[in-house]
Structure 1
C-alpha cells in the first residue's frame, strides 16, 4: 500500500506508541547543538560540518563518515561521553523509546586502550542508570569495531569488549565503511567476543549487495544484521534469514537520506516483513538523517499503512531480539503490554 491516508489524530497516537530501538550510534545521535556547545567549551573549531540551519552538513556517505568523525573529535573524556549519553537518552525518551541499545567504540573512547575504555564505560553506564531512574529509559551497550580502521584495531576493540562484557555491555558488532575488506577479515574479533558471552551483530547489506549479508551470517555467525535491506535482492537469502531467525535492524530514514533507496515507498522493509523476516525499526544516526523514532513510525504509517497492531509487533520483535538479560527483557515486554 502506498500513500495510505490516515488522520492526524491517529498519526499522533502512532508517534506516541512505546518503542524499542536496537540500532543507534551514540556519537551519531549527538544533537548538533550539543556538539557545537562542547566545541565552544573546548575552543575547538569545527569548520564545514554544520549547515546554515545548524544541522550536520555532508554530501555523500564517505563525506558523512568524515563529518561524523570530526564531530566525535570534541568528545575527549569520560565526562563528555556521560553528558552525551544523557542528551541522547533524553531525546530518545521524548520519542517514546523505552529501551535502546547503542553502539560504542573503544577507538573513540580511549583510543582502544583497555584501561581508558573502562573509565569511559563506567561514566556512560552511570549516566545511563541515572536516566533509567529519572526518565524511565533503559540503555545497553554494544561495542563496535570500525571496519575501515582494519582488522588489527578490531582485535583491540574486541578485547575491550570481552574484558568488560556483562549485564550492561551485552554485544559486539562492526560498523564503518562496508566497502572496505570483507566480513571474514574480522572473524577473529567476533570469535573473541562470542567466547566472552557477547551477542553479535554486524552492519551489512546497506552498500554492498546480498552476498555481504550472507558472508556476515556465515563467517561471523551473527544473530542480527545492521540494515541488511539489500538481502531482498536474493530471495533464497531472504528464506535463509527467515529459517535461521536472523533479525534485521532496519533504519528506513537513514537508507533514504543516504540514497540507498530514492524514497520510502521504494524501501523493501514491507516486502521483507511480508516474507517473514524479523524486522525492527531504528534511526541509526538520527540528527544526521533529520529523523527520530516518532518520525520513523509516522512515515511508515503514511507510506505502508502500518497500524498500531503492526507497530506493536515491531516493538515486541525488537524486545525479543534485544541482547539484554532475560529479566530485563521480561520487564520490557511487560511495559510494552
Structure 2
C-alpha cells in the first residue's frame, strides 16, 4: 500500500523558469486565436501536449514553430496583461510565493508601440496582480534571443537596467534564450556586463541541447548566477564541480527535458545526481503551453524519482534561495515550508 504523501500544491516554493508565451493556458491561446482570426496548428487545437525529438534540427523546428504560432496570437496590451495575470494566479494556486516570468519584449513591441511600452505593460500587470490574494508575487526577467544580433541584446540589457529593482513589478534578471546551438555565447558578454552593473540576476540558458562544453563556455563568458536547465553538466564531473563551486543554481525542467527528447525516460533525468553533487536546483515548468505540465508536475516527477517530502521541501527552499524574491517573502515561505513538513500527510 502506498504511503500517504503531503500535497506538493501546498508546498511553498518559487518558480524561476517560466517563459511568457509558454506560460499560457491552452484555453487562453485558443481564445486569442479565435478573437484575432488566426488558425492554430493542430497540436495546439486538439492533439495536445506534444512530444518532440530534438536530436535533429527538425524536432527543434517543430517546437519553435508551435511556440511562434502561439506568440502570434498575442496582439496587444489586453492579451499581454491576461498572460501575466493568469500565470501569477496559476502559480499561486500551486504554492508558488514568487514567480520570475521571462519575456523578450521585442516579440510584442509591434502591437503596443515599441519595446519600452511592451515591457512596461508586463511590469505594470506584474505589480497589480501581485497585490491580489492567491497570486504569486511576480518579478520579471528580460531575455535576449540567441537567434538575433548581439547588439539587440545590449539594447535589451540597457532597457532591463532602466527598470531594475526589487520586489513585484520590477525587472529582477536578464536572460538569454532560444536554441543554444545558435549564436556565439561569448558575443553576448557585453550585454550581460550591462545587466551585471545594474545588479540583475544573470540567467542564460545552457546545458540542455548542448553538453558540458557549452556550460563551461557560458560560465566563463557570461558569469551567470543561474543557468536555465544546465542538466547536461553531469556529463563531465569537472563541469559539475565547477557549477557547484561557483554557486550557480540550475533551473531544472524535467517535463520539458522529456518532451524535447533530451532524455528518453524519467529515470534518465539527472535530478538526483545534481542534488547529491551539491548543486542548487530550482525546478521549473519552462513552457506549460507546449509541454502540458506546470510546476507542481515537476515536483511530482521528483517524487517519482524517490525524493522524500523532506527532500522536496529542500528543493522548494533552494528555489527561494536562488530567487530574487524580497527577503520577507523568502522568510515567510521558509517558515511555511517547516509547517508543511510538520503537518501529517493525508
TM-score, with length taken from structure 1 = 0.90
Report how far residue 184 of structure 1 moved: 0.3
Show the 5 A alignment for 1:1-337. Answer: 6-7=2-3, 9-10=4-5, 13-53=7-47, 55=49, 60-110=59-109, 116-132=114-130, 133-167=132-166, 168-302=170-304, 304-337=305-338
Report how far residue 107 of structure 1 moved: 1.5
Report how far residue 335 of structure 1 moved: 4.2
Aligned partners of 1:111, 1:150: CA distance in 2, in Å?
18
Report how far residue 316 of structure 1 moved: 0.9
Do the aligned partners of residues 151 and 231 (structure 1) sit closer, same or farther apart at CA in structure 2, a change above 3 Å counting?
A: same
Report how far residue 103 of structure 1 moved: 0.6
Report SS of the residue matched to 1:324: coil
Report how far residue 47 of structure 1 moved: 4.1
Do the aligned partners of residues 253 and 56 (structure 1) sit closer, same or farther apart at CA in structure 2, a change above 3 Å counting?
A: closer
Report SS of the residue matched to 2:125: helix
Do the aligned partners of residues 231 and 189 (structure 1) sit closer, same or farther apart at CA in structure 2, a change above 3 Å counting?
A: same
Aligned partners of 2:126, 2:105: CA distance in 1, in Å?
17
Q: Is the 8 A contact 2:147 2:179 kept in 1?
A: yes
Q: Is the 8 A contact 2:206 2:215 kept in 1?
A: yes
Report SS of the residue matched to 2:264: coil
Aligned partners of 1:292, 1:6: CA distance in 2, in Å?
24
Deviations 1:19-66 (A, max 9, x none): 221111111011121011112112223344525246568662221112
Do the aligned partners of residues 259 and 58 (structure 1) sit closer, same or farther apart at CA in structure 2, a change above 3 Å counting?
A: closer
Q: Report how many residues are paired.
A: 329
Aligned partners of 1:156, 1:336: CA distance in 2, in Å?
40
Q: Is the 8 A contact 2:9 2:93 kept in 1?
A: no
Deviations 1:194-226 (A, max 9, x none): 122211011001011101111111100111111
Structure 2: 5+ residue stretches without partners:
54-58, 339-346
Aligned partners of 1:117, 1:147: CA distance in 2, in Å?
18
Deviations 1:234-270 (A, max 9, x none): 1011111111111100001110111000011011111
Aligned partners of 1:99, 1:171: CA distance in 2, in Å?
14
For structure 1, which segment, 73-82 or 171-180, has the greater mean C-alpha deviation from structure 2 after superposition? 73-82
Report how far residue 169 of structure 1 moved: 0.7
Report SS of the residue matched to 1:174: strand
Aligned partners of 2:189, 2:300: CA distance in 1, in Å?
38
Q: Is the 8 A contact 1:320 1:329 kept in 2?
A: yes
Q: CA RMSD in A?
A: 2.2
Do the aligned partners of residues 35 and 146 (structure 1) sit closer, same or farther apart at CA in structure 2, a change above 3 Å counting?
A: same
Aligned partners of 1:87, 1:136: CA distance in 2, in Å?
9
TM-score, with length taken from structure 2 = 0.88
Q: Is the 8 A contact 2:186 2:221 kept in 1?
A: yes
Do the aligned partners of residues 255 and 55 (structure 1) sit closer, same or farther apart at CA in structure 2, a change above 3 Å counting?
A: closer
Q: Is the 8 A contact 2:271 2:302 kept in 1?
A: no
Aligned partners of 2:310, 2:95: CA distance in 1, in Å?
16
Report SS of the residue matched to 2:114: helix
